[in-house]
Structure 1
């Protein structure tokens, strides 16, 4: 079974608005990611919430397949701590995507390619790559969940993945969505502009 942990607990301070619930594709940024994960067969999705958590949980009230984990230290801790909280709550997943909540433009094809690589036993850590650069989201086998939970080093998930580099299988993809996250108002405008151009193109 494939799972996913999505970190959606932060304050979105650079954005000036709450990123997970910003409009995107007729829904929200977080909902777009959840919908894609479920569309490719991800059966267990843990969403780590903190700031404005009641709003997120209310928005997804009808999606009973989601599991919510509250991170009480969302003001003090970084995203890695949220991901660690989420991984602890995974149940039956044999591998899980580990990702932030602000990358809604990743394509279905990319998620499918990573899952295929896992299922064909290419490796226990599957990482999308563009032009030699590692991207989010990695698909990490259950064997290494404990490595993430116990990690106390530097550079967050990047530091963890660097430690697992010899065990990783890299999947080259041309997906532009891997380069789009939404940390600032300008990046959000660019995301919406790109979506508009795709619809009109």
Structure 2
């Protein structure tokens, strides 16, 4: 019998305005594409059933440079209010369009070291665990990328604008199984961080 957990949707959060970066962070060059482009490539190459990208700020500029291919865009018109609203917007679209979804994997567009291997590890752990939240552990914290089972869909779709997925993880420690992120943890918020990570990759 097929594992009933195996229909996973993947949600990439890319709605922010990159205020600390001073430019459109999602479109910064990375390898042969961009930060958002590499996140999409890794998601499309993963074992996820459906991929959604939540946009907000700079939505027209981003869509011009990253045409839809193997995934769907969702626009959060209230992106300024916070990440929780973008998660809720994406989750609502997934639940409306993919009725059989049993898990939603949430990732960020500014963690270019998060690769297909890690995404598949999160899904495999979900398939083989009794836990309903599989999250990444780094710097003594547990957070995204993180995969949430059906039991948490309602909470995800009702997140407050300023409240992210971290709140659900923190409130349900008994439901969490973690994977160490190690060097893949670094996200990019400033030009300095971006240049440092580029240097490490060369």
State how 1:76-95 maps to structure 2 within 5 Å. 77-90=81-94, 91=98, 92-95=100-103
Aligned to 1:24: 30
Deviation, 1:78, is: 0.6
TM-score by length of 2: 0.86
Deviation, 1:115, is: 1.1
Aligned to 2:76: 71
Check 1:182–1:164 CA distance in 2 against 1; reply closer, same or farther (3 A cut). same
TM-score by length of 1: 0.87
Return the alpha-carbon distance in structure 1 between the equivalents of residues 107 and 21 of structure 2.
Answer: 18
Aligned to 1:8: 14
* Alignment check: 8 A CA contact 2:14 2:53 kept: yes
Check 1:7–1:153 CA distance in 2 against 1; reply closer, same or farther (3 A cut). closer
Aligned to 2:4: none
Which blocks of at least 5 consecutive residues in structure 1 are unaligned?
Answer: 197-201
Q: 3-state DSSP class of the match of 1:32?
A: helix
1:104 is matched with which residue: 104, 112, 119?
112
Deviation, 1:139, is: 0.8
Return the alpha-carbon distance in structure 1 between the equivalents of residues 151 and 184 of structure 2.
Answer: 28
* Alignment check: 8 A CA contact 1:106 1:176 kept: no
2:41 counterpart of 1:56: no
Q: 3-state DSSP class of the match of 1:89?
A: helix
Q: 3-state DSSP class of the match of 1:136?
A: strand
Deviation, 1:121, is: 3.0
Check 1:20–1:13 CA distance in 2 against 1; reply closer, same or farther (3 A cut). same
Aligned to 2:175: 167
Which blocks of at least 5 consecutive residues in structure 2 are unaligned?
Answer: 1-6
How many correspondences in the alignment? 192
Residues 137-191 of structure 1: CA distance to partner in whole angstroms, max 9, x if unpaired?
Answer: 11111221111122349753221211122111122x354112x111111111112
Check 1:38–1:160 CA distance in 2 against 1; reply closer, same or farther (3 A cut). same
Return the alpha-carbon distance in structure 1 between the equivalents of residues 171 and 161 of structure 2.
Answer: 10
Check 1:157–1:21 CA distance in 2 against 1; reply closer, same or farther (3 A cut). same
Return the alpha-carbon distance in structure 2 between the equivalents of residues 62 and 150 of structure 1.
Answer: 27
Residues 95-132 of structure 1: CA distance to partner in whole angstroms, max 9, x if unpaired?
Answer: 12112211111133322221111111342110122464
